Amino acid sequence: MNMRTQTIRKISDKRVILTYSELPKFRLVMDFGPLWAAAAPTGPCCLVHWQAKPRGERRWGIFDGETYRSFESYRSELPGEGLQLDESAVLTVPTAVICYRGARVIDHGNTAEIVGV
């Protein structure tokens, strides 16, 4: 898969902007604050979601409470918990994730591995 290069910039606590230099009008602002609060992790945690756009460039996004990274694929042997917010009450994205508690991300380039800590 030949995908464009993403630029990910943290703009505040649990908020990031994703852009592409090749798509100057595209900007995806993501706020993981509501999902992080709903998950209420008591230790290391990873939230995984499928990026909503742009079509043809979507990847798996992984947020660990501090850092957001994206990957073409990921794997984990840990149990994940689906978490979805009420879209009528929350106006930010993402609104649904797979939550891996007691976990951290290992970056293998285009692939990530979520492992226990």
Is the model's pLDDT at 5 over the cut of 90? no
**In the chain, what percentage of residues exceed pLDDT 90?**
86
Instruction: Summarize the confidence of residues 79-86 as an average pLDDT.
Output: 97
Given CA atoms 34, 38, 39, 41 in this order, what sign does their dihedral have? positive
CA distances from 74 to 11, 25, 91 (A): 25, 28, 27
Mean pLDDT rounded to a whole number for the chain? 94
Q: What predicted TM-score, i.e. pTM, was given to this entire model?
A: 0.94
Is the model's pLDDT at 56 over the cut of 90? no
Residue 57 is predicted with a pLDDT of 86
